[in-house]
Amino acid sequence: MHSLRARLILAFIIATLMPLGATIWITTSLLERSLGYATTEELNRLSRTLEGTVRQFYQRERDGLKREALDGRVAATSYPVADMNAWPEDVRAFWESGEPERSSLSGPGGDHLDFMRKTNAGVDVYRRDLGAIRMQELSEEFRRTRELVGSLESRDLRRGFTLTLLLLVGVVWLISLAPLLFIAHRISSPIRQLTAGLTDFAAGEWDRRLEKGGDDEVGRAVDAFNDMAEQLRRSRERLVYLTQMSSWQSLARKTAHELKNSLTPIRLTIEEMLARQPLADRAFMDQAVQIVVSEIETLERRVRAFSEFAREPPANPEVFDLNVLIAERVALLKPAHPETAYSFRLDVRGPRVHAGTDLVKGILTNLLENAAEAAGPGGSVMTISHSQGGQAVVEVHDSGPGLSDEARRTLFEPTITFKKRGMGLGLSIARKNALLLGGDITLVEGALGGAGFRVALPSAPESAAASV
């Protein structure tokens, strides 16, 4: 009885049994009273009295007819043996019986009484009219009455009615239980699903989602669960990413420090070696030193990149128009990539962002640089801005070759590349900064056939946005 379905069924049973019991009690009480008016006993007594009276009447008439016949006061119809073939059936039956005399009823419904007597010549039959009293009909009616009384006496109507009532009510009740089971199942099923979903989610199944059931409270709870699960999944991913980034930053900081410590004495030593070199060997030495210094500068550039990666920039949040920032960044980038076409699909309402401007500038610069490089000369880059779900969104799409599956999988992980420009840390830094601002960068379907990135940033509150 711990499940919701069992409780619903129990509630139905409790809620219906009481009125059902009361209904049965009232009905059986009324039945009891109505059956108290039954007249079976009266009918039985009356029929027996009537039977006795009719029998007395019959016997008196029979005896009277017999006396009159024997006294010769009533005329007889004679049936001579010679005409036996023409005798009525009852006369013949009497003749064949061993009885010397017999009384029987005749006429329609038995309204005549016959007295038959055997004589030497045959059978004499004396007849008396019973005065429209049809004895055979009375006999039949008495039989029916006795049958009725017998039928009533052989039955316990009180029990029959009560059992029938209980049976029918029980059947109806059970039938009504069937749809309840169905409804209880329908109600409890999404709740059970929700509970199972929560249990699975708590056990670490971060991708667990539930099917939307309907627009009722349970359906809304399912929606809330799915939203919550999605937010938790994203938050967890961000947390994991930031934790990883923190480790990578720490490693980069230490590496940069160690490299920096080594590179400075190396450079000084090389320069000292060049200064002390005799003039005769100077040409070769100049060339060698130039190579070594160039490599040292490359290493120093990488050390600076590591330092930048390891740096925790201040956020300094402020409210600004995202469209303005986009236009500024694109204008800044155009001279470096003059053969790339830039297009815009900006929200005319100008999405307001509440974030650190420098960080957002860095993010946009990185994405636009990457897009321009991917698009190449003659390619195109499109920038989109809009507001969605309380966030200001900017998307950067390029017409480049797109990203491989491997690149998509490790896109935001910090790597060391041998690109002429950049260290492969740009996207990592951009996503870290976006996360620090309360937003995120995600990969989306490219609108120009290449890659597409979406940056979600916190929107400025209405009051703050209005004051800008």
Burial class for 429, CB neighbours closer than 10 Å (0-12, 13-18, 19+): buried
Q: Could you say whether residue 35 binds another protein (CB under 8 A)?
A: no
Q: Could you say whether residue 240 binds another protein (CB under 8 A)?
A: no
Which among 101-109, 208-216, 366-374, 445-453 is the span making contact with another protein, rule CB under 8 A?
A: 101-109
* Least gap, CB of 120 to another protein (angstroms): 22
Q: Could you say whether residue 99 binds another protein (CB under 8 A)?
A: yes
* Least gap, CB of 110 to another protein (angstroms): 9
Query: From residue 47 to residue 86, what is the string marking binding to another protein with x (rule CB under 8 A)?
Result: ----x--xx--xx---------------------------
- The residue among 111 and 300 lying less far from another protein, judged by its C-beta, is 111
Q: Could you say whether residue 157 binds another protein (CB under 8 A)?
A: yes
- Among 378, 388, 376, residue whose Cα is nearest residue 444: 388
Alpha helices (H) along 343-409:
357-375, 405-409
What tokens appear for 21 in the block? 């019991």
Q: Could you say whether residue 137 binds another protein (CB under 8 A)?
A: no
* Angle of the 40-71 helix axis to the 135-153 helix axis, nearest 10: 150
Q: Could you say whether residue 28 binds another protein (CB under 8 A)?
A: no
Q: Could you say whether residue 120 binds another protein (CB under 8 A)?
A: no
Q: Could you say whether residue 41 binds another protein (CB under 8 A)?
A: no
Tokens 């039949």 label which residue?
A: 140
Among 119, 164, 290, 316, binds another protein (CB under 8 A): 164
What tokens appear for 437 in the block? 């601002």
Which among 159-167, 213-221, 261-269, 281-289 is the span making contact with another protein, rule CB under 8 A?
A: 159-167
Which among 163-171, 196-204, 267-275, 428-436 is the span making contact with another protein, rule CB under 8 A?
A: 163-171
Instruction: Answer yes or no: are the C-beta atoms of 281 and 428 closer than 8 Å.
Output: no
Segment 319 to 378, residues that bind another protein, using CB under 8 A? none
Query: From residue 196 to residue 235, what is the string marking binding to another protein with x (rule CB under 8 A)?
Result: ----------------------------------------
Segment 295 to 324, residues that bind another protein, using CB under 8 A? none
Tokens 């209904």 label which residue?
A: 23
Half-sphere exposure of 263 (CA within 13 A, CB side): 19
Q: Tell me the C-alpha distance between 126 and 61, whole Å.
A: 12
Which among 102-110, 172-180, 280-288, 452-460 is the span making contact with another protein, rule CB under 8 A?
A: 102-110
Q: Could you say whether residue 151 binds another protein (CB under 8 A)?
A: yes
Q: Tell me the C-alpha distance between 90 and 97, whole Å.
A: 11
Q: Could you say whether residue 102 binds another protein (CB under 8 A)?
A: yes
What tokens appear for 395 in the block? 């998307």
Query: Cα(first)–Cα(last) distance of the chain, in Å?
Result: 61
Q: Tell me the C-alpha distance between 212 and 197, whole Å.
A: 12
- Hey, what long-range contacts does 165-172 have (CB within 8 A, 24 or more apart)? 165/24, 165/27, 165/28, 165/31, 166/24, 169/20, 169/23, 169/24
Residues in the site for another protein, rule: CB under 8 A? 51, 54-55, 58-59, 93, 97, 99, 102-105, 135, 139-140, 142-143, 146-147, 150-151, 153-161, 163-164, 167
